[in-house]
Structure 1
Amino acid sequence: MTLWQFAKHNVLRDTETYIAYWLSSVFTVTIFFIFAVNADHPELDQDGSSIQLFMGMASVIVLVFAVMFLSLSIYSFVYRRRRTFGTLRAMGMSRRQLRRMLLAENSLIGASAIVVGMLVGTAFGHLSVLIMARIVRLSNITWKTPLAPIRDTAIGFAVVFMLVTLLLVRGLSRRPILELLSSPGHEAKGVRFSGPLAVVGAVVLLLGYALTFYPRYAGSAPALIDHVLEKTLNYVLIGCFMVGTFLILSQFAFLAITGIQKHSRRYLRGGNALWVSGLLYRLKSGVTSMFISTMLLTAAFCAVTASISLTMSVRTDVADSTPFAATYYAFGDSDREAGDLALIERELDGNGIDHQQYTLDFILLGEGDDVGLVDTKFVSEEEYGRVTGEHPDLAAGQALDISGASETTGSTVGVDGVGELEVVGAGTRLLDNPRNIDCYVVADQTLQEISQQPHTTSMRAHLFDFDDAQYDSGARAFSTTVRNTIGVGMADGENFLFIPRIDEIDADEFSHQIFTYVGVLFSAVFMAASASLIYFRLVSSVRDNLPITRNLHRMGMSLREILRVQRRQLLVLFTVPVLLAVVNTGFAMNYLVMARIASRLLYGRFLIILIPLLALQAGYFAFLSSRFSAKVRIFLKDPQ
């Protein structure tokens, strides 16, 4: 038997261990290939959309992830086979032959994964191109033979498999035979149970959860803490989540189980002592893989939930930041204002758009090229009431904040020559971002006093209100015609600005759909990797427990009781990473809401998206449980 035949025999004989690793490798190759196909198609990068650059970066990220995932997987397989390698060395196999055998095994797995992954990727590659074409609004797109993606995928993953295998195998082959023959330790060999560390883990994780609320209350903490968190909050959150999760799995879980053993009255009832005591070792031997699975699932859940939720809320979010479907701003004296407004009215009517128009005269504290962007703006109480129907009844020296700020009551606005204006409340926002910043309603008399001060400019805001969802195609035609006719305004040195909301909606939908596309594929890669690690952990646990299972069966324990003990232990090992990932994801989504990156609708969408994700996990566990139960039945030679 040649070395390659021996390696092939080893792989085929232990397909139960390698199958999940091989499938996840195939899936990773497929996702990389799909990204490469999108990056290689020239028609997807029209009009400077940077699709090729974005997909190329995504491909690199997948390749980097593949290096880490393959390193962990190959190390786990090699580490568990130390006794086998020690036996082969004791029988006369040289270190060089051992390295060549392991290289041959992983070459077979890697080559087959690359070939199958590219075949699957070729089958679905053009479908992904069609999806991307729809996102960038291309009606027709041609088929392109993916020669460059095939080359890049084959070379990239061949190098990854070879390098990872060589680096790990080289260290293994240098170990003494006696060390290889020694009983293999568990993954968390260096971890010792510590009550204080368990408490620290719980505190750190809870601190991370609490800090997700911080953006809502920023400024209420001491100045030093506010300054530090403002700069480092994202890193602090990631650190708390990772450190807390690891300590929960490696320390707090054992504190909870030992507490149950010592204090629970149900511990000695119904066979609970048997499965709980066995669970301690299984948890201890799976700390590292459970932690990595938890973080992979957290990343997957966050990616798919955030990307899909933000895409679903684009129109709502844009409507919040841009209250009117179209706005035309004229600064100071404008010779073209009347003609531009006539064009806008004509195009709205020509596209059959039923609309209402409002005009507001603002006074701005400032002048120059950037006027209207960040200057303080004032509008009269009368004009504000005509548009909104609200009549705040302001006295002289009072102001109503209409910038959209959550809490401004009690603050003041300083105006040279007029004095301090007291902000007495918040009203309806009228202007788009960033022109809504520092925008106030004042009494008519106060506005007249402000207009008489030096360094002020007038701004007329013409607001056009219509449903751009109802008139979707008409709104785009209207926006395109007006922009092509009058230009973009202030960016070209003009004293006007035209803001159609549909353009912002299209831009946000484009970017969010791209992120959703990439996010869903990334989450699929992460979940596949997590599934592979969980499978390897559980199949190793079942194998290690088979001798104990046989002894219990010989001592009179029925097969039904044995399977019940195993199912409970596997359920805990499987469920703990999933539950921690769900909780971590929930607080990560809470951070997006508190930081005003997403609206509160994200909470409901998170729960909706979570249902199929959890159903997928439940189905996977049911499959594993059935498979492992069958394995135990065969091992015990049960006729069922």
Structure 2
Amino acid sequence: MKFWQFALRNVIRNARAYFAYFLSSSFSITVFFSFAVYRYHPRLQHIQNYKETGPLFTLIGFTQFVIVLFSFFFLVYSIGTFLNVRKKQFGVLTILGISHRQLKRLIFLENMIIGLLSIFVGIQAGLVFSNFFLLITSKISGINGLYLYWPSEAIQTTVATFLILFTIVSIFTPALIRTQKIVHLLRGGIRGKKERSPSVIISIFSLLCLFSGYIFAAYPQSYITEKSLTNGIGLLIILAIIPLVTIGTYFLFSQASFLFIWILKKRRRFYMKKTNMLWISDLASRVRININMLFVVTMLSVITFTTITTLYAFNKYTKASILEAFPFPFTYVSYEGNILEAKHIAALETELRTDKFTYQKHKAIIYKDKAANEEIWIIKQSDYNILAKFLNRPQVQLTGHETYIVPRYSPIPLELLTNPFLKQTKITLQSNKKEFHIKETATKPIIPEDAYAYLIVLQDHAVDNEIPHLEPMTFYNFQVDDWENTMPLTKRILHMTTEDIKSVSPHTDQQGEQDKKVPFQIFTSSDELYVDKRWNVANFFIGTFLGIIFFMGAGSVLYFRMYTDLTREAEKYKTITKIGLTKAEMTCSATIQLAILFFVPYVIASIHTIFAIKFIQSTLSFSLLKEEILILGLFGIIEIIFFFLIRSFYIQKLSQHIKL
């Protein structure tokens, strides 16, 4: 038998242990390859500037980098775990005369065999699903005609990338097996460890870290203020949330968990009941061995749950977010002296009627001014109330020296934290130094956020008699039914206005000077919806793939630990059966221990996710509760199914070793 054949047989002999590792690696390669198939598509190479403008194309390079980086750490962790499990095999081989150099060569060959098989299977799976993948990416990117082709460049890139990755890992992983005494190798690397008392101080510290991170995430408004952002304290607290939760999570498993087990042992009535003593007494040992596994699985799960929940919500609420930023589908602002006003409004109405859209138009006069060094637009109360009625907003009733402030952005809490303008109780107009009391501040903008101006509502009498000398602007708002389907119309209007801009200022060289001479502005929603939808769908599509990779990695790590603990657990139960342990009691004890190792990371990750989403939600104008429940519930169901599959395999293997 040749040496490479011996390595191949070792891989086949340990196929069950390597299964989850092989599956996760193959899936990562499949996703990487699928993105490469899209990236190197011949049709995309001929689209001018598409690389700079296509959202999906832009994200793919970053995603492939993340996949490779994750795969590297996943391979190192997984192979290190397998090598520790196989120390007994290495001890036997050492007795039989294998040299340290040959042992390293054996480990290298085994890793490369698994790597080559993973690359082959991953590319084959990618080829099978490449047509389906191209159909989805074609719809997301808006590029038609992404036909199926032979992806030679994608294959070369994938093979080269992961071959280099597996080679690097295979070269350095033998260093994890240091020269040790044969006796220790034969014992499988398991040393008797005296159970240590948990550190109460570190346990309390871990809980304080977690609670601090949770409080900072749940109540950002308590520390994100103008002053805190100015002196940097608010930013430091935001940056400290992730380290606090990470440190707290690690010490929760490494210290606080043992304190909890110690408390269970002190409750003698519970501890001595049925098989409780069996699983509780062994739980500390299993947790100590699996500290790193529990921590890694928890953090990977948090990344997965938070990423997919957030991206799913953004994709779902794309239209709602556009309506927040652009309350009216079409807004036309005409400055004084605009000779194109009549032409543009007539053209817009003609296009709407031609495409059979039902619409309502409102015309108002707005005045430009400044207050507290901020650009403001002033509107009459009567005009504002008409707009508010169109949008089902509350009506405003003001006295002579009262004003109503409409913010520039939504949600207002974010703007309140960063801009002191909305925290005032009084406002003084720069033009005539008149002071007005701020009666109330709206919760949502009513003019397009791209206007970058606060809207100030004043009583009609105050506008007519106290500020008549300001430069007026004519403000046209169009409320259009089924506006999300007005993209073709929007393109035609924007093309016309762009050509008019060129004709108005044809000799302007600098963009800034040209903008100052443009006598109008037009704001449209459908093009913003189109762009945002593509970005959000692309983000969700790619984020979901990454989330699945992370979750499969977490599941694989769990599988590794179950498999590696199997031999030790079988020996333990074999000994206990001699004093009368029944099969039902063995099944009950093993199930409880497995359930703790499986579901504790999921529960802690879910709690982390709830507070992470709470923090993200504070910057949004909509709730993520439904999406959060859906994603956590979906992954919870997957976790339960996976648990019962592993439990079935685990109990079956224990039963084979133990005759009951």
Could you tell me the TM-score, scaled by structure 1's length? 0.92
Query: Closer, same or farther in 2 for the Cα pair 1:185/1:239, shift >3 Å?
Result: farther
1:36-55 equivalence runs, <5 A: 36-44=36-44, 46=47, 47=50, 48-49=53-54, 51-55=56-60
Residue 257 in structure 1 maps to residue 261 in structure 2: yes
Alignment match, 1:296: 300
Quick check: 1:212–1:594 contact (8 Å CA) kept in 2?
no
Does 2:436 correspond to 1:421?
A: yes
Pair 1:521-2:540 in alignment = no
Q: Shift of the alpha carbon at 1:472? A: 3.9
Q: SS at the partner of 1:266?
A: helix
For 1:83, the equivalent position in structure 2 comes to 88
Contact kept? 1:39, 1:51, Cα under 8 Å:
no
Equivalent residue in structure 2 for 1:411, among 395, 406, 425: 425
Are the structure 2 counterparts of residues 191 and 333 from structure 1 closer, same or farther at C-alpha, using a change threshold of 3 Å? farther
Equivalence for 2:278: 274
* Deviation at residue 23 of structure 1 after TM alignment: 1.0
Q: Spell out the pairing of 1:500-519 with structure 2 (5 A cutoff).
A: 500-519=524-543
Q: Offset of 1:478 from its aligned partner?
A: 1.4
- Identify unmatched segments of 5+ residues in structure 1: 368-372
What amino acid sits opposite 1:557 in the alignment? L
Distance 1:171 1:245 in 2: 26
Q: Which residues in structure 2 correspond to 1:31-430 (within 5 Å)? A: 31-44=31-44, 46=47, 47=50, 48-49=53-54, 51-175=56-180, 177=182, 180=185, 184-185=189-190, 193-219=198-224, 223-224=227-228, 227-263=231-267, 265-365=269-369, 375-389=375-389, 391-403=395-407, 405=412, 408=422, 411-416=425-430, 417-427=432-442, 429-430=445-446
Match of 2:505 in 1: none
Distance 1:27 1:529 in 2: 10
User: Deviation of residue 225 (structure 1)?
Assistant: 7.9
In structure 2, runs of 5+ residues without a counterpart are 417-421, 502-510
The answer on whether the counterparts of 1:289 and 1:533 sit within 8 Å (CA) in structure 2 is yes
Letter in 2 for 1:477: P
**Does the C-alpha gap of structure 1 residues 549 and 182 become closer, same or farther in structure 2, counting only changes over 3 Å?**
closer
Do the aligned residues in 1 keep the contact of 2:55 with 2:535 (CA within 8 Å)?
A: no
Aligned pair in 2 of structure 1 residues 191, 107: CA closer, same or farther (>3 Å)? Answer: farther
C-alpha offsets along residues 456-493 of structure 1, whole Å, 9 cap, x if unaligned? 532222110023xx3543x1121011111112869863
CA–CA separation in structure 2 for the residues paired with 1:481 and 1:581 = 49
1-structure distance, mates of 2:245, 2:120: 38
Matched, 1:599 2:634: no
Q: What is aligned with 1:443?
A: 459
| Structure 1 position 543 matched with structure 2 position 567 | yes
Q: Is the 8 A contact 1:326 1:465 kept in 2?
A: yes
SS at match of 2:387: helix
Offset of residue 74 of structure 1: 0.8
Q: Larger deviation: 48-57 or 131-140?
A: 48-57
Offset at residue 357 of structure 1 (A): 0.6
Contact 1:99 1:173 (C-alpha < 8 Å) held by counterparts: no
Partner of 1:464: 478
SS at match of 2:397: coil
Q: Is the 8 A contact 1:380 1:442 kept in 2?
A: yes
| Residue 27 of structure 1: aligned partner | 27
Shift of 1:374: 6.2
Secondary structure of the residue aligned to 2:446 is coil
Secondary structure of residue in 1 paired with 2:271: coil
Secondary structure of 2:339's match? coil
d(CA) in 2 for partners of 1:324 and 1:587?
A: 34
SS at match of 2:334: strand
Bigger shift: residues 566-575 or 540-549: 540-549
**Correspondence 1:476 to 2:487:** yes
Q: Structure 2: which amino acid aligns with 1:197?
A: I
Q: Find the aligned partners of 1:480 and 1:564 in 2 and give their Cα distance.
A: 67
Question: 2:471 and 2:237 mapped to 1: Cα distance?
Answer: 40
Structure 2 partner of 1:433: 449
Contact 1:266–1:272 under 8 Å retained in 2: yes
What is the rounded CA distance, in whole Å, between the counterparts of 2:195 and 2:127 in structure 1?
Answer: 45
The partner residue of 2:594 within 563, 567, 570 is 570
Distance of 1:505 and 1:233 partners within structure 2: 34
Q: Residues of 2 paired with 1:207 and 1:554: CA distance?
A: 49
- C-alpha distance after superposition, 1:328-350 (max 9, x if no partner): 11123211111100001100111
CA distance change for structure 1 residues 462 and 136 in 2, over 3 Å: closer, same or farther? same
Instruction: String of CA shifts for 1:529-559, please: whole Å, max 9, x gaps.
Output: 1111000111222321111111111211111
C-alpha deviation, 1:217, in angstroms? 3.9
Count of matched residue pairs: 625
The TM-score normalised by the length of structure 2 is 0.89
Which residue, out of 497, 521, 524, partners 2:521? 497
Q: Which amino acid aligns with 1:420?
A: E
CA distance in 1, matches of 2:30, 2:587: 37
Q: Structure 1 residues 612, 415: closer, same or farther in 2, change over 3 A?
A: same
TM-superposition CA deviations, 1:164-205 (whole Å, max 9, x none): 121121353555656645662589999983111111111111
> What amino acid is the match of 1:29?
I
SS, match of residue 375 in structure 1: strand
Contact 2:367-2:379 within 8 A present in 1 as well: yes
Q: Given that residues 55 and 534 in structure 2 are in contact (C-alpha distance below 8 angstroms), is that contact kept between their aligned partners in structure 1?
A: no
Alpha-carbon distance between aligned partners in 1 of 2:351 and 2:656, rounded to the nearest angstrom: 77
Distance 1:189 1:35 in 2: 50
Deviations 1:398-430 (A, max 9, x none): 210122635757622221323332211134632
Distance 2:115 2:215 in 1: 44
Asked if the contact 1:351–1:477 (Cα under 8 Å) also holds between the matched residues in 2, the reply is no
Partner of 1:370: none
* Deviation at residue 435 of structure 1 after TM alignment: 2.7
Counterparts of 1:409 and 1:366 in 2: how far apart (Å)?
16
**Counterpart AA for 1:154:** V
